[in-house]
Amino acid sequence: MHAPTSEFESECLRRILAGERHLFHELFRPCERAVYFLLLSLLKNEADAEDAAQETAIKVFRNLHLYRGESQFRTWVLSIARNEGLGRLRKNASRREESLDASADEQTGDFTPAILTSWREVPTEELERKELAELLRRAVDGLPEIYRNVVLLRDIEEMDGKETAAALGITEGAVKVRLHRARALLQRALAPTMKAFAPKPKGLFGRRA
Amino acid sequence: MRIDCKHVWEHISAYIDGEVAAGLRAEIDRHLETCEICSAVLDSTRNVVILVADERVFELPAGFSERLHARIERELELTG
């Protein structure tokens, strides 16, 4: 998931604003995964996230003339998505909005890693089996909101720290702290179970040949 | 000065991202050479990061993109 080059973006933007409106499909396409997962993380419901993603696309299109190119296009799109998501949370009185401000970083918690003996293999082939993917999704879903947002953008959408900070309205320092804690919590939650998915050692006595 | 395990854990995430300063990185590397626990913590954290990033883990709902672009198309026609 890489952002398109800014050259592609500015060319698209120029032509869309000049009347080639159908190019908006191509401009928005590279952003749609990140938009959806950011909204899913906020709204915790697939149907709501999809609806909000569509609304975001429409708002982006209608406000395209306001984009000034001061941030990456995708960052701007994600901040619109975030506002859309937060707006929906606020409207929904039955939901208690979790604190999204930086003070939450001061909360204490146990971020000590799970201790285990060596586990060097990445069992990516096991992802073909649904269990491992499900396990990973549940672990991410189980993270406190402020950590989940950062993991989704940094590790899953592979955005850099600066872009993530801009999209979430927090500092780059807060992104680093949250990412560190999120990964520690994931390691704790997953490492002991995931070890079972690692390929079996190939040699005698547990040593690899 | 030798750094301890807890100190290493504090920097695991930055270490994975290649964001620790050269001096500290060298100290962590020295520690990792002899500490099996920290090596395993580093490996497992890195593995978790790699696995979570796999596209097969977080997939868009089936038909998401089609529905999104159909909605965009309606908007383009509406305001065209």
What amino acid occupies position A202?
A: K
Cα separation of the two ends of chain A: 36
Are A65 and A14 within 8 A, CB to CB?
no
**Residues 6+ positions from A3 with CB-CB distance below 8 Å:** A30, A31, A72, A73, A74, A159, A163
CA–CA separation, A74 and A87 (whole Å): 20
Cβ-defined contact of A183 to B76 (cutoff 8 Å): no
Are A135 and A194 within 8 A, CB to CB?
yes
**Residues 6+ positions from A62 with CB-CB distance below 8 Å:** B79
CB-nearest partner of A122 from B50, B76, B79: B50
CA–CA separation, A58 and A52 (whole Å): 10
pLDDT at A106: 58
CB-nearest partner of A158 from B16, B19, B53: B53
pLDDT surpassing 70 at residue B78: yes
Cβ-defined contact of A46 to B50 (cutoff 8 Å): no
pLDDT at A36: 95
pLDDT at B42: 93
pLDDT per position as a tens digit, B22-77: 999 999 999 999 999 999 899 999 999 998 888 888 889 999 999 999 999 999 99
CA–CA separation, A9 and B46 (whole Å): 33
Q: Could you give the ipTM of this predicted complex?
A: 0.87
- Percent helix, strand, coil in chain B, to 5, is 70, 0, 30
Q: What tokens does A19 get?
A: 């009347």
pLDDT at A6: 77
**Beta-carbon contacts below 8 Å between A and B:** 138
What's the whole-model pTM score? 0.78
Counting as low any pLDDT under 50, the low residues of chain A are 1-2, 95, 97, 99-103, 206-209
A178-191 in b/e form (b: 16+ CB < 10 A) is bbbbbbbbbbbbbb
CA–CA separation, A170 and A148 (whole Å): 14
pLDDT per position as a tens digit, A150-192: 999 999 888 889 889 988 889 999 999 999 999 999 999 988 8
CA–CA separation, A108 and A112 (whole Å): 12
CB-nearest partner of B71 from A54, A190, A195: A54
pLDDT at A130: 78
